[in-house]
Amino acid sequence: MTHELTASRLASASSNATASGGWWRDAVIYQVYVRSFADSDGDGFGDLRGVRERLPHLARLGVDAVWLTPFYVSPQADGGYDVADYRAVDPLFGDLSDADALVDSAHALGLRVIVDVVPNHTSEQHPWFREALAGVPGARDLYHFRPGRGPGGAEPPNDWKSVFGGPAWSRTPDGEWYLHLFAPEQPDLNWEHPEVAEEFASVLRFWLDLGIDGFRVDVAHGMVKAPGLPDIGHGAQATLIGTEPLPFFDQDGVHEILRSWRRLLDSYEGPRIGVAEAWAPTSERLALYVRPDELHQAFNFRFLNCPWDPAAMRKVIDESLAATSSVGAPTTWVLSNHDVVRHVTRYGGGERGLARARAAALLMLALPGSAYVYQGEELGLPEVLDLPDSVRQDPAFARGEGQDGLRDGCRVPIPWSGGEAPYDFGDGGSWLPQPADWGGLSVAAQTGDPHSTLELYRAALELRRALPGLGAPDAGPPTWLSAPKDVLLFTRPGFACTLNTRPAVLELPSPGRPVLSSSPVETDGRTVRLPPDSCTWWAL
Ligand code: BGC
């Protein structure tokens, strides 16, 4: 089942950073949330065959790679981020031959394939955890089992809270407690145990041998816990994305693990890459994850979290670029993913939210480095805010006090064509109900409409390939030019970008010849009227 990646196939489709040392350095990577992308067998859940059938959409969109969220055997307590067998495909999504065929077809279209690996925790149904619960000698050492505190050990061993709400500890029938930074169905592994490291090296090899081009490492900052599992002290809610140093995130020991993974990745013909889903209190600490001997990329969630404020955006852009360039890595940019409210809605929703989302996409794609596009953002999909509680599957919602009870609303299956749900997502409904007014947002409805968000993304990605100044991290950081309040104006080689964050038209001297805009610009060649909440690309 090993795939030979013919260099020429991918080289021809790869973008302009290939020449300067690595396809990932300016790659646009499309996140496929597998259960919500395309359903080939009518069970209401997206699957690998569905992804494979829809790959031409991604090739036409113009992305370089696809990141597939977990499709491994799992009880689905957390959308597949609770893995029971790391080497097998869950029947919900197909089988190994579907994964194999998908990788093959993607490569034939010039698309690379990145898969998720979930090393911080397993499913409670993983054989190791079942053995641990069954009392098999030594099995508990692979996890964090501890006696409780207080009379009868009835209190959790420390004050850590789960990211999804409630204590980060659950008690077994025999009275011991085990640690789970996420849901109780996701027990945390003990990475001090050599068997854990050996097993994951073998899992990585399994998928690399199948031909995948890299891994997105889930909770890469969480694998190592501070010695002694100390209390935080003030009982604060743990958050996945925060600025507070925490005894279970961003411990120095994670870097040794990730370095050993880099050596493993480098032992394959490639380059095969590792992308850290990591959160660190500062950009400088985040940059440690992408040192030359560590992973290739880390998600830059500061950009995603940045408000619609030009000064804040400029600060995040400058600081992100400075931190990663200090270690020679490309920066990544991301606006949405399966864990956050879609950015159309974060930016205010409605027409204004959409205008800003389109502008933010052009800003992101004009910056040096690699960009991530979450399925459906190329259609301008908003968050679905009115899902009935009865259909929600996010464990954070069920646990009540999680920091984010809204992750189902960004996971609603995407519309492909037709005027009624499921909009050709499949022919058997969809696991989350789609809004009745999504027909006009479908891929088919937007194709060929020059004002559509889909055509804007297609045009932007085509230009990004054609204009070497765009994206390429080695072409240097943006040069900021003075601009009216509320406007960002920067140049890169042969190219300028304006962002008007004001909800009003703004006039300024024309920076060049407009080549693409998120809303129509008016220019007489000397002055330009920038539309409200818009981004424009200019050839110099
Ligand atoms: C994933 C989430 C998941 C969590 C636990 C995250 O970072 O993106 O979807 O719930 O890790 O695995």
**Res 70: pLDDT:** 98
pLDDT digits over 288-323, tens only? 999 999 999 999 999 999 999 999 999 999 999 999
**Res 333: pLDDT:** 97
Averaged pLDDT, 78-91: 98
Residue 259 burial class via C-beta count within 10 angstroms: exposed 0-12, middle 13-18, buried 19 and up: middle
Q: Flag whether pLDDT at 412 surpasses 90.
A: yes
Q: Flag whether pLDDT at 15 surpasses 50.
A: no
- Dihedral sign of CA atoms 307, 309, 312, 318 in order: positive
- Say which of 218, 377, 383, 394 is annotated catalytic: 218
pTM (2 decimals)? 0.95
Task: Give the torsion through C-alpha atoms of 410, 412, 413, 417, to 10 deg.
Answer: -90
> Quick check: CB of 301 below 6 Å from ligand 1?
no
> Quick check: CB of 219 below 6 Å from ligand 1?
yes
Which has the higher per-residue pLDDT, 238 or 418?
Answer: 418
For strands 370-374 and 332-334, give the pairing.
parallel
> Quick check: CB of 78 below 6 Å from ligand 1?
yes
Averaged pLDDT, 180-199: 97
Q: Flag whether pLDDT at 405 surpasses 60.
A: no
| Cα–Cα distance for residue pair 319/301, rounded to 1 Å | 13
**Res 92: pLDDT:** 98
**Res 19: pLDDT:** 40
> What's the number of CA atoms in the CB half-sphere (13 Å) around residue 297?
31
Residue 75 burial class via C-beta count within 10 angstroms: exposed 0-12, middle 13-18, buried 19 and up: middle
Averaged pLDDT, 370-388: 96
**Res 413: pLDDT:** 98
Catalytic annotation on 218?
yes
Which has the higher per-residue pLDDT, 466 or 68?
Answer: 68
Averaged pLDDT, 250-260: 97
- Band the pLDDT of 16: cuts 50, 70, 90: very low
Q: Flag whether pLDDT at 18 surpasses 70.
A: no
Averaged pLDDT, 51-64: 98
Averaged pLDDT, 442-469: 95
> Quick check: CB of 535 below 6 Å from ligand 1?
no
Which region among 157-171, 226-240, 258-272, 332-346 has the lowest average model confidence (pLDDT)?
Answer: 226-240
218 C-alpha to center of ligand 1: Å? 6
- Dihedral sign of CA atoms 275, 141, 198, 228 in order: positive
| Cα–Cα distance for residue pair 384/54, rounded to 1 Å | 23
376 C-alpha to center of ligand 1: Å? 19
Which region among 90-94, 197-201, 348-352, 524-528 has the lowest average model confidence (pLDDT)?
Answer: 524-528
**Res 370: pLDDT:** 97
> Quick check: CB of 410 below 6 Å from ligand 1?
no
138 C-alpha to center of ligand 1: Å? 28
- Band the pLDDT of 473: cuts 50, 70, 90: confident
Minimal-distance CA residue to ligand 1 atom 3: 81
pLDDT digits over 139-150, tens only? 999 999 999 999
Minimal-distance CA residue to ligand 1 atom 8: 339
Q: Flag whether pLDDT at 165 surpasses 90.
A: no
**Res 13: pLDDT:** 40
Which has the higher per-residue pLDDT, 497 or 472?
Answer: 497
- Say which of 78, 213, 277, 394 is annotated catalytic: 277
Please state the atom number of ligand 1 nearest to the C-alpha of residue 240: 7
Minimal-distance CA residue to ligand 1 atom 2: 339
- Band the pLDDT of 180: cuts 50, 70, 90: very high
Minimal-distance CA residue to ligand 1 atom 12: 81
Residues 417, 426 contacting (CB under 8 angstroms)? no
| Cα–Cα distance for residue pair 24/27, rounded to 1 Å | 5
> Quick check: CB of 118 below 6 Å from ligand 1?
yes
Minimal-distance CA residue to ligand 1 atom 9: 339
Q: What is the mean pLDDT of the chain?
A: 93
| Choice from 124, 163, 218 to test ligand 1 binding pocket (greatest atom count within 8 A of CB) | 218
* Domains identified in the chain and CATH numbers: 127-179 (3.90.400.10), 478-539 (2.60.40.1180)
408 C-alpha to center of ligand 1: Å? 13
| Cα–Cα distance for residue pair 53/436, rounded to 1 Å | 25
**Res 235: pLDDT:** 55
pLDDT digits over 478-522, tens only? 999 999 999 999 999 889 999 999 999 999 999 999 999 999 999
> Quick check: CB of 189 below 6 Å from ligand 1?
no
Catalytic annotation on 4?
no
The whole-angstrom distance between residue 144's C-alpha and the CA centroid of its chain comes to 28
**Res 197: pLDDT:** 98
